[in-house]
Structure formats: structure tokens, C-alpha cells
Structure 1
């Protein structure tokens, strides 16, 4: 698949964008499953102490893996523009902080007390999304620098005010809680980003770093992490989150190597062999700790990594066929403006809050699943509309 340069100069790879878009559509879909009743159990999350995983438990690790696959291309693109390692590391830090901030604000919305805070959960999530747009939007050049700074300042002040007035269940104050999905991505990106920059594209360094994180995942699953390390966020010390993202970096680096040689068939064979090896590791380690997303077990790491590699390989070959490539353009905004797409359900919920609630039949069984899938596609369409009017987030 040929590479294409976007307007901001960042090199993109079509198959990675497509897989990211598909994953985001699925993420919005599974996030809406909580509103439904009478749906197949294999679609939903599996409880913490249960050995197994549903579709919803596969989507998030796939997204982490795809974040990693994009890193080698983004890093090379920035280096080509003359950025130093120090600049690249600073970019990784700032981007991680942005994801952590958004993650914390959104996760606090899950436990907000509307009466004590003076704001409903729907409006909280909408205002967080609005502030994010004000702060991280890529403003058109026609907008003066001073207006851009004013809008960004409004977004920052808005978040500060929200944090101050926030009250959760039982009157608790604004806190990090579990960091949220975006926060977990932020911690994982921080680890993988540092390794990617410092490795300078050396595959063996990336593989060794991945193996170290896998070992840390074993240690965490065994309950052997003690002492001062316990004060660090779980996403940093469990090894699993970082290994998912860094595994993506390894595969992205391999992908680059095979693309340079135009050896797609060998790449496919290697990718499938690696996927089968990871599945084997997942089956073997399952006997010790089971498969669990909420416990971030090694088996979950291995099997989800394998599934994502297989999915990427399939998408890559489908995307080389013109009819399939055209079909993927329908969801393209979810792959190129992913953060904005992730925030659109909050925007949509606020825009429709005054409308009557959907009938029970639309929230049950197969019809409910169709409703959730339609919601995902509506969010993709809303993302496309927002992009056309000049809203495009860049952390």
C-alpha cells in the first residue's frame, strides 16, 4: 500500500488508517452496548474474575496496537522535517499529558453527582469535548494567532472551572480515578513513544524492550510487584498495556522494512507466523492467569496482539483492491480524525438530549444492535462534517 502525505505533512499508511477506523467504529459500537438489553454475551465485556473475553475486550487492545503501528511512520516523518530526538521526546510527553487530561476528565463524568455539581453527565462530557476542541483544534491560517490563543485559553480555563465545581458520588472531589480509556492510551503511548524515539528504528532494540515489558506483565500477573513501584499507575507497571503498544511498534517497523523491499507475500507469511506464535503463547499462559482484560493478563496481551496482526494483514490486502478501498472511504474520518470521532458520541448526546427517549424495542436484542451500529456510523458522519467546517484535533 502506497504511503500518502496529509496536509500537515505527516506520512500516513492507508491500511493502518483503515484498521484504526474500523477499530474506532467498533469502539463506539461496544461502548453503546451498555444501553441495550437481551444481547449475546460474547459481544460484551467479561467480568474481572472470569476467564475469557468478548468482542468488547478485544477492541481496546487492538487500538493500542494500532497506536504503536503508527509510531515508526510518525517518528520518521518528524525526523525528516529536521526534528531532534529531544524535540520528539518532548512531543511524546506533551501528547501523553493531553491524553491523560482528557481521560481523567471523561472518567470523572462517569461518577458525577449532577445535583452537587450543578451539571449533568451528558453536559459534562459535552463540555469536556468542547474544551478539547478549543485547546487542540488545528485552526485555519485565516484565524489570527491571538484569536487562536484566546480560544485555547478559554478551553483551559473551562477545564479548570469544571474540575473545581465537580462533585462525585458521596461528595468526592475531582480525582484521577482509573485514568479512563484515553488516559490508559496516554500512559502506553508514553512508554512506546520513548522506546521508539531512542531505538532509532533498530528492530532488535524494539524486540528486547517488548520482551522486557512481557516479563513485567508476567511479574504483575503473578502479584510480585511490590514496594515503591506500587505507587506508579497500573498502566505503567503492569507491562501489558505498554507491550500491546510496543508490539504494534515492532510490527509497524517490520511493515516498513517489507514495504521498502516491496515483498508483500513474505511479509504476509511472517506476520501470520508471528500471529500463530502469539496465539500459542496465549494458550500456554492462559493456564496460569486466565484471559482477562480487566486484569490485563499476558494471555489477553498475546491473543489480542495476534488478532490485530491478522486483522491488519487482511485489511492490507483488501485495501489494495480498488473496490474495497473505495468502500473503506466511508469510514475514513474515524481513521484520520480519530480523537474527534471518539468525542462525537458526547457531542451527539448533548445535541439530542431534549428529544424523546428511544422506544424499548430499539434498545433490545438484534434491533438494539443495529441501533448501536447506526450510532457508530452517525458519529463517523458527524466527524466528517466537523472536519469540513475546520475542526480537526491534533495533540
Structure 2
């Protein structure tokens, strides 16, 4: 077995534990200090709350996805937020169209389901790592995997209606985020002084990125098999997890993706577990009370975004903290809010992480000695 990539142990730690009390005090002060950081955090709250209202209004099937869309799209520059929103809608639309064409056939047999999950996941992640409109490529894969896995879980599911509601959820989240971002930009005059948006250069064949994407494809292929063997619900969140943690800078893939992906897995686990602990506590205290659920959601978004904007070396923890909050505390219907769907979605996220790491280790053991020394082509441009 080839040696593991050299990674310093401290690189896996999000904080210097010796400086932790001082950092926590500084972050607490920043939480109540007026300025761009506070504006961004409350803009995220407004964006998510508006997305939830819009998603309920249009009858979306998974309101949490609209809320998460509104959260991840929010950037300091309103133009960048708008561009990412357009790419998210285009990618979701293309992924939904692809699902309408392939999922009815793929869902009929386990080998076809596994093959389609692997192929679409591999191609879309490769596009995410190397293409000019990377964010749209990511959403193609995420949308297809979610529709496929939900269809396998619910064979009688109307694929067209489900693809339509998935697109509506993204549109609701995008409209909410862009509206809030433009309003904030107008009141703060942020757009007038914004720097020009850089257009990523077009990229072509990159072997290291292709190998990396193939590892994700192999792992995604295991999800239909796992569902067939164990009947685990909500595996769509596992598919999202697998693709999201594989988004790492392409510059580091020449020496293999095991170390950076493992680090993201660790940070995702820390964020999800800490966020879910808070969310489940709020859910139990609320006991169906909508005001308590909304207050808990607001507090969770504020804490998560504050962590993401902070001075730690792991902003991804803050993003995943917020994801757990939204997955658990934003039900599809407040009238029927319960703990079970949130726990199932959280378990699915952990299953995705548990499946991916053995695949990475096995791939490294078999092919680590043959990793090519590819040139640097820059970092990926987006994440979930």
C-alpha cells in the first residue's frame, strides 16, 4: 500500500485550542459589532426566511432545499449572487431534464440505477472542477442524483412533478436571495464600489480531476445498492454529501484527493453534528410551536454564518452547521413538524460520509503509486 499523502496533524483542526478562549471572545464581540459582517449575516437570515415563505406559497415539496439555496447563494457582491443564482437555476433545470429522460428507465433495474448514478455524478463533478460555468455543472449532478434516489425510495413518485418542484424550490431560493442581495447593495451602495467579476478560463482534459470525479461516481453508485439491500430512507442527502465534499482545489489533486477530502469530511461531520445537536434541542423544546422553530432557525443561521465569516481555518464547518439547522428545523409543513424527517436526513448525510472514505482509501491503496504529476489549473469556484 502506498504511503498516505503527508498532512500535518494540525491541518485537520479548525482552531488552535490554546487560543480558543481568546478567539471565542473576539467572535462574540464581532457578533454584535455593526459593520459589513453583521450586514451579511442578517442578509442571510432575511434571504432564508423569504425563501421559506415563497416555497410554502408555491407548495414546494422540500422547503429546506429552497432555504439552503437562499443561504449558499448569498455573496458580498450582488452581481456575483445573481450570477450564481442564474447558474443554479440553469444547472437544476438541465439536471431535472436529464432525470426526466433517464430516471424512469434507470429506476427499473438496479444495475441501470447504479450506472446512471455513477456516470452523471462523475461527469457533473468533473465539470464542476474544470468547466467555466462550474456551479451549473454541480447542480446538474445534484439534481439528477436527488431525483433518482427519491424515485428509488418512492417507486410511485411522479418524476415530472418531482422535477418541477425541485426546480421551483431553487427558483424560490434564488429569487429570495437575489432580492435581498440587491436591496442590501442598494442601501449600502456595495455595487458601486464592487470589483469586476473575474471570468474563469475555459478548461480542458485534466486526468487528476477525472480520477477524482470517478471516485465520487463509484461512491454514488453504491447508494442505489444500499437502498436495495437495506431500504434506508432519505438517501438523496447522502448523494448531495458525496458530491459536495469532493469539491476541492484542483491544484492539490496531482498528489491525490484523499487528504483534502478527508479534511472536508471531518469539517462536515463537526458542522453537521454540532448544528444538529442545536436543531434537535430546539425541535424538542418547540414541541410543534412555529414561533420557537422560526426563532431557532434564525439563531442557527446567525451562528452558522458568523462561523463561516470568522477567522478560523475551517469556514466549511459554519456552512455545514447551517445546513444541519435548515435540514432539521425547516419542515415541509409547519403544521406537521416532527423530529423523524430531520433525523433521517441527518443520518443520510452521515451515511454519505461513511461510504466515501473507504472508497478514497481503497482507490489510494490501488492507484496511489500511479498518480500523475499534473500542472496547476487553479481552484474550484463554488461549494455546497
TM-score using structure 2 length: 0.31
The alignment's TM-score, normalised by the length of structure 1, stands at 0.31
Higher relative contact order (CA 8 A, sep 6+): 1
